[in-house]
Amino acid sequence: MLSNLSVLINAPVFNISLIVDGVLIGAIFALAAYGLALVWGVTSVKNLAQGDFVIMGGYCAWYATYLGVPPLLGLPIAMVVMALFGWVTFHLVVKHVIHRDLFTSLLATFGMAMVIEAGLNLGFGADVQSVNPGFGSYYLFGGLVSISKMKLIAFVLAGLLAVGIVIFMKSSRMGRAIRATAQDPRAARVLGIDTEKVYAFTFTLNAAICGAAGALVVMIWVIHPFIGVSYSIRSFVIVTAAGLGNLPGVIAVGLAMGILEQFGGFIMGAQYEQAIVVLLLLLVLVVRQIQQARVRQVVQ
Amino acid sequence: MSVQEASRFADERAAVPSGTLGQKAARFKPLGYAGLLAACAAVPFVFPGYTNTASVLLLMVIFALAWDVQGGQMGYNSLGNIFFFGAGMYISAVFQIGLWTDVGAYTRPDGLVKATFTAQQYYIGLGVGFIASGILSAVLAIAFGWIVFGLRGPYFAIGSWGVAVAAGELLSTVEWVGGGGGIAMPAFPGDPGFRKLLFYYMMLAVAVATFAFLRWLYTTRFGLALNAIRDDEEKAEAMGIHTTRYKTLAWTISAFFLGFSGAIFGNIVAFIDPRNVAFPTLTFGIYMVLMVLLGGKGTLWGPIIGAVVFDVIKEVTWTYFLGWQNVVLGLLIIVIVVFFEQGIVGSIKEWRPEWFGIRVVGKAEPATRAEMAAASKAEAAE
Amino acid sequence: MSEAIIEVENVSKTFGGVVANKDVSLRVEKGSITGLIGPNGSGKTTLFNSIVGYHPIDSGSIRFEGREISKMQVQEIARLGLLRTFQQTRVYGKMNCVDNMLISIPHRKARLRHIFGRYTTEDVDKAEILLEFVGLYTKRFLLAGGLSFGQQRLLEFAMALMNEPAVLLLDEPTAGINPTLINGLIERLRRANTDFGITLLVIEHNMRVIMNMADTIYCLAHGQLLASGKPAAIQNDRRVIDAYLGAH
């Protein structure tokens, strides 16, 4: 561990590699977190299956590639398939728990997570999968820093998607309806907005976002049926740290998380990946408690 | 009103309307408990092939009862109480091995250093480890309560879950206790039949102790305070209740019994590892909650009934749906959570509240205490 | 009896840009009934919340029986004998009335060994006496959550009495109560003050009620203290009338 740390100190150029990688993957974390925040803010449901939706999206893209579709097309395919899946699960499960207490919705989404993981395992096996779109890398600083072109493309795509969603939220009718429902569902209903439709749409949109994130993940990293949990935790950590409805915050924290994980993984070793993610979670929660204690409130 | 007058009415309170089911059943209670205990004690002899299965069933009962103290009675839905199960398991293992030999050497992944234990060493180790597991788990509860007690609702659930997962992840990096490879428990110095019996009765003892303790606990002021925190914690604070004290105590009680259960289970399976056996947050950790939801949160028998029903369903699906366990389990979770929110006992309570001593509007009663005194005076004069 | 049991001195509180209280000072005399009035948004509930410790104040001092409480937590202040009732009545919904009363027994003397004891017959006696005082004796075994709104309010009041407070802060006690029942509630509040010696600080919108009940009245407007004095004086104070009718 110390030897890794000294590498970073003695050869600063490696820091650049870690930072760049961190930012590029952090964008995907931010994307998934945004979806979670969206559902949370509008329906109050904390979707514990968020990470599994992402991984399922990854499998959609992977399978499409397996069937011969060019890798980048996997993205829109994953989005469409996941949107459909999201719509179905909304009507089967989520719809019934929206108006119940928070713990009920937590457990219900957890049940969904379990079914998805088990389903993916049964369907695709537990092996690690990945898609190599074969784009190669850029090399900087005399070959010491390599930036995968696919990661750059993923970053750009994630950014475009985010911009697209923001524009949609601001200018479209449904976008306004969503924002209104997030602020005050009763008032929205009184003004004629069909909140049930809004809930369904929001959840479906989130599923599509997850699909996109997953398609990007499978192209720049790896997936397997049980890695969804860490993405769920990451999304939750980002939303807790940044706060609901704070999109720039979500982006910033997401990128920071990506960087932190890269450094942590490099210094301590890859087997610490899960541990780092969970420790970040506990850290964020403890810090929140301390902040809230100053105003004599609790984290709720 | 003077104090004199007040205590004169104390006798009237004892004259509770008789004839409710609860009253009639009360006479048979001690007999019922004795019978149940005898039945449980007889299981290994009547169904010898199912002794270990029955031990696991008892484990589930302990899980459910221990979780309910905090989750059902106090309203703090924790997804991380499994932390104490794993802690107890590891604590016991460390004592069982460490009393006689070097733990670090014993747990080396290459397995070159293998110690054997005499029967005496084994049993002493087991005894000490067992006692330590409960006590030290309780100490851990007090020590780590602060991490999560400023959290409410979903944050508490996820935070507590995070603590359990973190424990598993961190322990798997500690080579002294075997790291990710885990620890092979000391070999049992006796015949396998006796082994099964011993651990079954130990588990039964813990289950009975847990039940008896909680049954008493819920009749004390402590029980009422827990319910107040559940119903409205801010109100409880505004009325001056030491909420932090109660929360810590409830969590500690839960930890105490879970620690014991972990020690026994670790010995039954004879091999413990941090992620899958000691801190199985996504299986045992969640089952705790589901069993109580299924049976009825915040009741005494709900968790027990829920544990039994859940375990039976699980055993059946494991046997017939091999490979699809988690799918069935996930669906079961969804069904329980969406349709069984009240739980079995909760539904019965709604259907027949009188059985539980809950008065329903409309039953005739003296209007004031003065009337009640007059009525009983008239009765006494006859 | 000019001994002050609560002294609020130059208290200010801002919530992210909105000044809820600015330099508010008031004195509640021991054994009195003091009223706190003012149009909506004048900062009355914020002041209440500051006094009971629900949030920290930005500046100023709050003293209870001579002791500074502005840095203390809600539970500690409650245990000192300063209780409040909530605008949206709060009771323990899944417990019956008697249990609601029992759990409201003062916790200031509670030691660990008390926690695991049972409630005594004296405790239950006291609970039943107070339940009868508020007229809920016949409903004592019903779940608190099933009571009507007015009944819950009475229960909350009884629970507060059970706690033997020195001061009770009541947040709009007559709001939402059927007019025919208001007199009964007022009567009980008065008796709590005279018979049990509890000092009352009451936020009230119902002028008839507060003018008849209070010894002293403080009027807030726009987060600041506007006027204070005896009910008769306040009733005729031009500034108070303007504040309520909106003339600026």
- pLDDT for C128 beyond 80: yes
- pLDDT for A153 beyond 70: yes
Q: What is the mean pLDDT of residues A235-255?
A: 90
List, edge to edge, every strand of the sheet that includes C18-29.
C18-29, C4-15, C59-64, C67-68
pLDDT range class, residue C244, cuts 50, 70, 90? confident
In Å, the largest CA–CA distance within chain B is 88
Q: Is-contact B138 B91, C-beta < 8 A?
A: no
Mean confidence (pLDDT) of chain C: 90
Taking CA atoms, C64 is separated from A142, A146, A294, C33, C59, in Å, by: 72, 67, 22, 16, 16
pLDDT range class, residue C235, cuts 50, 70, 90? confident
Q: For residue B179, give the nearest of B52, B274, B84, B253 by alpha carbon.
A: B274
Cβ distance C53 to A297 less than 8 Å, yes or no, reads no
Number of other CB atoms surrounding residue C118 within 10 Å: 12
Q: What is the mean pLDDT of residues A59-64?
A: 93
Q: Is-contact A278 B159, C-beta < 8 A?
A: no
Residue pairs between chains B and C whose CB atoms are closer than 8 Å: 117
Residue B187, pLDDT score = 85
For an interface test with C, which of B11, B221, B299, B359 has the most C Cβ atoms less than 10 Å from its Cβ? Answer: B221
Residue A10, classed as helix, strand or coil, is helix
Residues 156-185 on C with a CB inside 8 Å of B are 159, 163
Q: Are β-strands C4-15 and C18-29 bridged in parallel, bridged antiparallel, or unpaired?
A: antiparallel
Q: What is the mean pLDDT of residues C160-189?
A: 90
| Tokens read off for C119 | 């409630």
Helices assigned H by DSSP within B233-339 = 233-238, 243-269, 284-295, 302-320, 325-339
Amino acid making up residue B210: T
How far is it, in rounded angstroms, from Cα B69 to Cα B220?
13
Residue B366, pLDDT score = 52
Q: How far is B120 from chain C (nearest CA, A)?
A: 39
How far is it, in rounded angstroms, from Cα C83 to Cα B310?
45
Residue B121, pLDDT score = 87
Chain B residues with beta carbon closer than 8 angstroms to that of C104: 239
Residue C165's Cβ-side half-sphere holds a number of Cα atoms within 13 Å equal to 30
What is the b/e burial string over B84-105, where b = at least 16 CB atoms within 10 angstroms of the residue's CB? bbbbbbbbbbbbbbeebbebee
Q: Please tell me which chains touch C, using 3 or more CB pairs under 8 Å as the contact test.
A: A, B
- pLDDT for A63 beyond 50: yes
Q: Is-contact B378 C147, C-beta < 8 A?
A: no
pLDDT in tens, C38-91: 988 889 999 999 999 999 999 999 999 999 999 999 999 999 999 999 988 999
For an interface test with C, which of A101, A291, A294, A296 has the most C Cβ atoms less than 10 Å from its Cβ? Answer: A296
Cβ distance A295 to C55 less than 8 Å, yes or no, reads yes
pLDDT range class, residue C180, cuts 50, 70, 90? confident
Count of positions (residues) in chain A? 300
Judged by average pLDDT, the poorest of A78-82, A105-109, A251-255, C109-113 is C109-113
Chain B residues with beta carbon closer than 8 angstroms to that of A110: 286, 333
Cβ distance A294 to C56 less than 8 Å, yes or no, reads yes
How far is it, in rounded angstroms, from Cα B186 to Cα A68?
54
Residue B283, pLDDT score = 87
Cβ-proximal residues to B12 (8 Å cutoff; 6+ apart), any chain:
B369, B372, B373, B376
Cβ distance B239 to C78 less than 8 Å, yes or no, reads yes
How far is it, in rounded angstroms, from Cα C95 to Cα C86?
18
- pLDDT for C247 beyond 70: no
Q: How far is B369 from chain C (nearest CA, A)?
A: 8
CB-based contact, A173 to chain C, within 8 Å: no
Greater pLDDT, A82 or B368: A82
Q: Tokens 């002293």 label which residue?
A: C216
Cβ distance B238 to C79 less than 8 Å, yes or no, reads no
Q: Which pTM does this prediction carry?
A: 0.87
Residue B92, pLDDT score = 94
- pLDDT for A115 beyond 90: yes
Residue A54's Cβ-side half-sphere holds a number of Cα atoms within 13 Å equal to 34
Instruction: Report residue A288 CA to chain centroid gap.
Output: 21
Q: How far is B325 from chain A (nearest CA, A)?
A: 8
Q: Please tell me which chains touch A, using 3 or more CB pairs under 8 Å as the contact test.
A: B, C
ipTM: 0.91
From A47, which residue of chain B is nearest by alpha-carbon distance? B154
Number of other CB atoms surrounding residue A180 within 10 Å: 18
Helices assigned H by DSSP within chain A = 2-10, 13-43, 50-66, 74-89, 95-97, 102-124, 149-171, 173-183, 185-190, 195-220, 228-242, 247-268, 273-294
Nearest by CB to residue C132, choosing from B246, B298, B369, is B369
Residue B268, pLDDT score = 93
Chain B residues with beta carbon closer than 8 angstroms to that of A281: 158-159, 162
Distance linking the first and last C-alpha atoms of chain A:
37
Residue B16, pLDDT score = 42
DSSP C72: S
Greater pLDDT, A119 or A147: A119
Mean pLDDT by 10 residues, chain B (382 residues): 33 42 64 86 85 93 96 92 95 91 80 74 91 95 86 89 91 86 86 90 95 93 93 93 92 96 94 91 90 90 94 84 81 85 84 68 53 60 50
Q: How far is C50 from chain A (nearest CA, A)?
A: 11
Residue B15, pLDDT score = 38
Residue B267, classed as helix, strand or coil, is helix
How far is it, in rounded angstroms, from Cα C99 to Cα B33?
28
How far is it, in rounded angstroms, from Cα B303 to Cα B290?
9
Count of positions (residues) in chain B? 382
How far is it, in rounded angstroms, from Cα C211 to Cα C230?
9
Cβ-proximal residues to B126 (8 Å cutoff; 6+ apart), any chain:
B92, B96, B267
Cβ distance C73 to A294 less than 8 Å, yes or no, reads no
| Tokens read off for C189 | 């509040």
- Phi/psi for B146 (5° steps) reads -60, -25
Q: Is-contact C92 B227, C-beta < 8 A?
A: yes
How far is it, in rounded angstroms, from Cα B57 to Cα B309?
10
Cβ distance A299 to B155 less than 8 Å, yes or no, reads yes
Chain C residues with beta carbon closer than 8 angstroms to that of A296: 53-56, 73-74
Q: What is the mean pLDDT of residues A279-286?
A: 90
Residue C220: its H or E element: strand C216-221
pLDDT range class, residue A21, cuts 50, 70, 90? confident
Residue B148, pLDDT score = 84
Residue A49, pLDDT score = 95
Q: Tokens 């205590």 label which residue?
A: B7
